[in-house]
A and B are shown apart, each in its own frame.
Chain A
Amino acid sequence: MTAAEPTHRPTAPTSSGSTASPSPSPTSSTPPRARRARRTRADRAAIARSRLEAVLTHLLVILGVLLSVFAFYWLAVMSTSTSAEIFGYPPKLTFGSHFAENLRHLTSSIDIVSALVNTIVVAGACAVLVMFFDSLAAFAFAKFDFPGKNVLFVVMIATFLIPGSLSLVPSFILMSEIGWVGTLQALIVPGAANAFGIFLLRQMAASAIPNELIESARIDGAGFFSTYWRIGVPMLRGGLAFLGIFTFITAWNDYVWPLIVLVDPGRQTLQTALQNLNSLYLTDYGMVMTGALVSVLPLIGVFIIGSRHFIANIAAGALKG
């Protein structure tokens, strides 16, 4: 393989069923004219088959949906219940009447508005920075060659494999030495670019961005950054949306590090505030579940907005254009 690129495969997005199939189906090997002659009967069969397929598909999907939604529904039920009802036997699966009370306890126990604002700032900043830095790096790794690339890429993947849980103490010391303890940037800056996202987007770019586009941009005299902006970003939209959403979620739900580093009770994130509701003694689970529900709802909103980008299929259009 040229340029000794273990990390850099030609992505060979293969052909359609007919050409790559080692044992081609009868239809695909039949000349077009013969095919047309058989169409009416085959069509009827095909329509019936596709109906059946559609029904089966829906049934399968709905089964999966029910399994997925079940626990969330239960969470919602628990947020309307008392601690006793939550752990009662048999489990109660219908909505209770304590939501207002739980919510009142929640809002009187923690400053939910300020926690919410801090969390939005942290998660939003993380998502934007990660999307930007990771896609830049991924674009460079996927579509360009430069000295030392392979080594750098392997080093990056290796950092992804390093277990992180033991770094609390040294990270805390580092933050306290640079005076960032208690600040939100201690939660934002260290994670502003990560191996996970670079790796993901590099893999996406490999199959999504045809080299012809990069080549024609070069011929047009576009530099790296303008190629990135004009071709890389639009073609990676789906991957970026995913990365943005899940960086947002990860930052939103993170609690161990924020709990250590946010020493000021007036500056907390939602998760650290909610964690502080847990007691070594008795925990009011109704209130905790209400908190959990409140913290999840914005994420669903973010997902609905961001996931629109999973649908749009712009790659084909860009190629043809």
Chain B
Amino acid sequence: MSALNAPPAAAPLRTGDGAVPRSRARGWRGILTHWPQYLAIAPFYVLFLVFGLFPIVFSIVLSFTDWDGMGDIHFAGLSQYVYLVQDSRFWNAVANTFIIWILSTVPMLFLALVIAFLLHQNIRFRGIYRVAFFLPNVTSMVAMAIVFGSVFSDTFGIVNSALTALHLDSVPWLSSSWGIKVTIAVMVIWRFTGYNAIIYLAGLQSIPTDLYDAAKTDGASTWQIFTRVTIPLLRPIILFTVITSTVGGLSLFTEPQVLLGDAGGNGEAGMTIVLYQYNQAFTQFDFGYGSAIAWALFVLASVFAIINWRLLSERSETPRRPRTRRTR
């Protein structure tokens, strides 16, 4: 195995103390040796301790109370969590969230990869294309609600008009259970594909071009370059987008709310976990229950983040690179 495939944090990187053996320096001495690194990461933890920890502790405490957001706080033991487990509306929201998450994340990340790959090629007008793909992410949500409401309108929408023109059955996008989920997923894909593509593009920027040149010289097809060069090199970034899309997907709120309102549409078919939490905390003013829902979501998100992490990182641990290209 080449030196490059050793963990990047190799012993020689330690500064100063040459007496420290290859094994890790322990205790205060080790910590002091690494003061610049601790200083570098300190701002995040300091800010978190000052501004983040208190609200978090507060919301954990709240989940064991029946606070209504204003009055006195009465402890309620585990009753919020007991109710949560038996609450069919909550489980409906969990199921909806997962369905929409799967419907949106997979096509979104794939499309984003393809777009990033295409924009990374030397095609003309790519500056303009980049801006175009970026626009959905900043277009105002109020405007989006109106646009999507019009486009997917059951009786008058553009999509159904097109379907009818093609002699296909029109779909009750905004009134059927699946129609609602698909429409929300489309909205998510529409809004975040460009965003993820831009992350990938930033990642691609860091891949040396000589790898492409080499692959091209070797006669690799575009598809081969995409699957054999681009995707493996982007794996850490893909891991990042999968984790953030998991967190984002499980916390889905804005799209269903602007499209369907606080109630989540017919039969609550578009009710997501966070929309339900919002409902309980900010329209029912049941902050205790809202907090319990939030922490249930945290557990779910953690489980899925860990699963994703394992799935993606195990594969990338298989070192596959003979020492070619980069050291040439």
Contact = CB atoms under 8 A, between A and B. Distances in A.
Given A3-B24, A17-B229, A21-B224, A57 B121 contact: yes
Contacts of A145: 7, 9-10, 13-14, 24
Interface residues of A, number: 134
A249 B137 contact: yes
User: Which of under 10, 10 to 19, 20 to 34, or 35 or more describes the interface residues of B?
Assistant: 35 or more
Interface in A68-127: 68-72, 74-75, 78, 86-87, 89-91
Contacts of B134: 300, 303, 307
Contacts of B146: 74, 78, 86-87, 285
Contact of B209 (A2, A46, A143, A313): A313
A137 B40 contact: yes
B219 A25 contact: yes
A117 B202 CA distance: 29
A210 B10 CA distance: 12
Nearest to A288: B142
Interface string B287-298: 100110010011
B12 to A, nearest CB: 6
Contact of A12 (B15, B26, B316): B316
A239 B203 contact: yes
A144 B219 contact: no
A152 B45 contact: yes
Given A75-B140, A165-B278, A167-B55, A315 B207 contact: yes
Given A140-B40, A163-B294, A10 B30 contact: no
Contact of B136 (A68, A157, A215): A68
A89 B156 CA distance: 8
A18 B220 contact: yes
Given A1-B317, A15-B325, A224-B15, A165 B281 contact: yes
Report which residue of B26, B50, B220 has the largest number of chain A beta carbons within 10 angstroms of its beta carbon.
B220
Which 10 residue pairs are nearest across A and B when measured between Cβ atoms? A208-B206, A167-B55, A145-B9, A17-B220, A292-B140, A27-B219, A224-B36, A238-B205, A316-B208, A146-B34
Interface of A: 1-3, 5-6, 8-21, 25, 27-28, 35, 42, 46, 53-54, 57-58, 60-61, 64-65, 67-72, 74-75, 78, 86-87, 89-91, 133-134, 136-137, 139-149, 152, 156-163, 165-167, 169-171, 174, 189-196, 198-200, 203-204, 206-208, 210-212, 214-215, 218, 223-225, 228, 235-239, 241-242, 246, 249, 253, 285, 288-289, 292-293, 295-296, 299-300, 303-304, 307, 309-313, 315-316, 319
11 contacts: A16-B218, A61-B119, A69-B135, A90-B156, A145-B9, A146-B34, A167-B56, A170-B58, A310-B130, A319-B208, A319-B326
Given A90-B156, A285-B142, A296-B138, 15 more contacts: A8-B9, A16-B218, A21-B228, A27-B218, A61-B119, A65-B128, A72-B135, A74-B147, A87-B146, A137-B40, A137-B41, A203-B203, A238-B202, A307-B198, A313-B208
